[in-house]
Structures are given as structure tokens and as C-alpha cells.
Amino acid sequence: MIKLGMRSSKKRKMMEKGIHADGFRELLIFSLMASCLCGISASAQDLSLVEQKVHKLSDTVWWIEPVPAYGGNIAVSAGEDGILMVDDQLMPLTDDIKEAVAGIQQGKVDFLVNSHYHYDHAGGNAAFGEESLIIAHHSVRTRLLEGREAGSNFREEPHPAEAIPVLTFKENVTFHWNGEDIDVIYLGNASHTDGDAVIFFQESNVIHTGDQYVNLNGYPFIDLPVGGSATGLRDNVAAMLAMIDDETKIIPGHGPMTTKTELQAYHDRIAATIDIVEKQKSAGKSLDDIQETGLPDEYSKFTGFMTIPTWIQQVFSSLND
């Protein structure tokens, strides 16, 4: 395990490198607004505190864990063929990420895969795009070209060209890289966003789920403004479960690495709570009424980073009338 922290000289360099004061302030303000995405209380978000911890998961796959988890989890495949990385957190954290990757293997990142477009997963694209080929679902490219950060939050300036994926797919794509197949798969439904991919390192038996699975003891966030869907997420998680086995190492979008048993439990409580909301909606109850009723105790204790009324609202909005 390697620990890296952001030094004060690095903060100065960030300012010099075009993360100018205004942009940085906006970023922090945005992070505060959108803190529900990564599950950290708004008052605690100081990116200078973040350390990138590196965990080896197989001969060729590593997990880079930001602590505290202000950015998304990163996966790295490194070996004879070179380096492939999944996600890049936020721009101010990219120097530390590059240092962490260099600690695994020297050389440029050849391929950078975005699990989805959100600012805390693809926010560092511009720091890699000049020398890395960025690959993502086609909707990720669309959302980044719109200047979208997450949901209805937009950047003031467009993303620079180097932050935009140059290779996109609509269903899936497979890398034959470092001795294994690495499948990048759109699971068929709009879900956390309208363009989520899971990345399955077949031989290593490691999967990076993106934010379709956030392991922070709560319900998922659904990006409704881009067409995200709670029922789509439920069905995609079921598809993930069908792909993996009890030995699979699961890297969630945020939070600690976990196993199929935990992912199954997450799926089951999402499915059960969707059913609860659906029955009431079908019976003609209003959103207010359903929120007022709430969820049974066994489901209402999962308040990781979103309130239960917010989850009910996201489910309600995802259900067809």
C-alpha cells in the first residue's frame, strides 16, 4: 500500500497550471453542492486532505482508493502491454494520481476509460487526454460536450478538447491487454446516468462498477436530468451479478472493495424498495404521501449519503405512469 498526500507545493502548482483561483473555488462550491454523489458531508470536503492508496488485486490489476473518498475509485491494469486506467477523479487530484500510477509502473497511461461522465470520475480527463486515448460510452462524450458536471450542474467554460473521449461505444468494447480480456460493458439500461459502463478484468476476476454501485451503506444516486433510472439501475445490477462469482473482487464507484454477497444485498434492497414505491404509486398515492409513509425499518436504516425521501423521489420519478 502506498500513501500519497497533496503537498502545499502541489497546491501552488495547481494554481499555476490553470486550475486558477476562480476555477478552483467553483470546483469546491460544486463539490459542496453535489457532495451527495460521493457521500461525504459538505463541510468535510477539502481536496488537499485526499491521499491515494494503492492496493494490488492481481498480477496486473490495482485499485487506487482516494481517502477520504471525495473522488471515485480508480482501477489500473499495468503490465507488458502498458497501462490502462479506469476513471480519474477530479482535476486537482491528478498529480497525486499520476504519482500513484508511476509507483505501480513507469510510463504514460495508454488508455483511460471513463465509467461515466460525472465530475468526480471523469473530472481529471484533461490532465491525461493529451497522451492517453480516452474511451467511454457515447453518452459520456455527449454530456461532457454539454459542459455538464453532474445532473443540472454545468461548467462555466467548456471542457478542453483533451478532456473529451475520442473513442466511444454504444454496447461494449474489449481490450486484449496485459494478458487478459478487459470488457467495458454498457448493461443495456440508463441507470445512475444515461451512459454507465462496468469494466470487467476477466482473468484477474476484478470488476469496476462505476457509480451503479456505491458501497457507502445507502441507496444509489439517480441522475434524473440526463434520463437516469432507478429501475434501470436495478436491472443493470442484476446483470452484473450474473457476470461475476463469489471470488470476484468488486471495486465500487465509491467506498471499500467488496464481494458478490454485498452486491446482492444492495440489489435486493433496491428491488424491494422500488416495489414498495411502485405499489403505492399504482394505487394512486402521491409522492408526498409515499414519502410521508417512508420505508419499513429494515430498509430505512440505509442512509449512507442520501435521505430516504430523496431515494423515494428518485424511484417515483423513474417509474412509468
The CA dihedral of 79, 80, 84, 89, to the nearest 10 degrees, is 40
> Considering beta carbons, is residue 54 or 226 the nearer one to Zn ion?
226
One character per residue 138-167, x = contact with Zn ion (rule: CB under 5 A): ------------------------------
Phi and psi at 12, nearest 5°, equal -65, -40
Name which position in 65, 88, 95, 211 contacts Zn ion (CB under 5 A): 211
Q: CA-CA distances (angstroms) from residue 190 to 173, 212, 269, 285?
A: 18, 10, 19, 26
Q: CA-CA distances (angstroms) from residue 310 to 67, 163, 216?
A: 26, 31, 16
* Minimum gap (Å) between residue 137 Cβ and Zn ion: 13
Alpha-carbon span 202 to 183, nearest angstrom: 7
Stretch that binds Zn ion, among 90-98, 118-126, 128-136, 177-185 (CB under 5 A): 118-126
> Considering beta carbons, is residue 222 or 312 the nearer one to Zn ion?
222
Phi and psi at 97, nearest 5°, equal -65, -45
> Considering beta carbons, is residue 58 or 153 the nearer one to Zn ion?
153
Please check whether residue 97 is in contact with residue 124, taking contact to mean a CB–CB distance below 8 angstroms. yes
> Considering beta carbons, is residue 39 or 129 the nearer one to Zn ion?
39
Stretch that binds Zn ion, among 115-123, 153-161, 170-178, 179-187 (CB under 5 A): 115-123
State how far Cα 26 lies from the chain centre: 21
* Minimum gap (Å) between residue 118 Cβ and Zn ion: 4
* Minimum gap (Å) between residue 116 Cβ and Zn ion: 6
Q: CA-CA distances (angstroms) from residue 267 to 164, 170, 262?
A: 32, 24, 9
- Which of 85, 66, 117, 64 minimizes the C-alpha distance to 182? 85
Name which position in 118, 137, 249, 281 contacts Zn ion (CB under 5 A): 118
* Minimum gap (Å) between residue 216 Cβ and Zn ion: 12
One character per residue 161-200, x = contact with Zn ion (rule: CB under 5 A): ----------------------------------------
> Considering beta carbons, is residue 118 or 159 the nearer one to Zn ion?
118
* Minimum gap (Å) between residue 223 Cβ and Zn ion: 7
* Minimum gap (Å) between residue 170 Cβ and Zn ion: 20
Burial of 205 (0-12, 13-18, 19+ CB in 10 A): middle
98 binds Zn ion (CB under 5 A): no
Count of residues near Zn ion by CB under 5 A: 2
Instruction: Work out the number of other CB atoms within 10 angstroms of the CB of residue 6.
Output: 21
Q: In angstroms, how far is the first alpha carbon of the chain from the final one?
A: 50
Stretch that binds Zn ion, among 23-31, 209-217, 257-265, 301-309 (CB under 5 A): 209-217
* Minimum gap (Å) between residue 274 Cβ and Zn ion: 19
Binding region for Zn ion (CB under 5 A): 118, 211
